[in-house]
Structure 1
Amino acid sequence: MLSLSPPRLVTFLLSVILIGLAVASLYLKIPTIGPTVVKYRTWFFIGAYVVLALGVVSRSL
């Protein structure tokens, strides 16, 4: 059986930062990493969800 646990703070903050960058790239110009975020915006969304999902499934992440 799969036991779920809350993600650690670092994992949660990493997923929030990834989502924040992806959403901010919709409305703002991000100076340094902006072109990369705009180009791979969908992968930033997917990556944030995967990081958060792994944090819930794994106790050490």
Structure 2
Amino acid sequence: MRNKLIKHLSEGLNQIQIAQIFKNENYKPNSLSSIEKEIYKLKEEYNAKTMFELGFKIAKSK
């Protein structure tokens, strides 16, 4: 999940868009809650406060 989530975040997608993509692909877990929890972990890991900052830091780290 983590790699797909990072890919979509670096593309600038939000949680709702990512959840919809995961559901369309039958990828589990695909609930908004699961995605939000993983994003929270990523924010802590990348020391980011906002989604924008997280996306920027992820893209910069590639």
Structure of higher RCO (CA pairs closer than 8 Å, 6+ residues apart):
1
TM-score (norm 1): 0.34
TM-score (norm 2): 0.34
Which structure is larger by alpha-carbon Rg, 1 or 2?
1
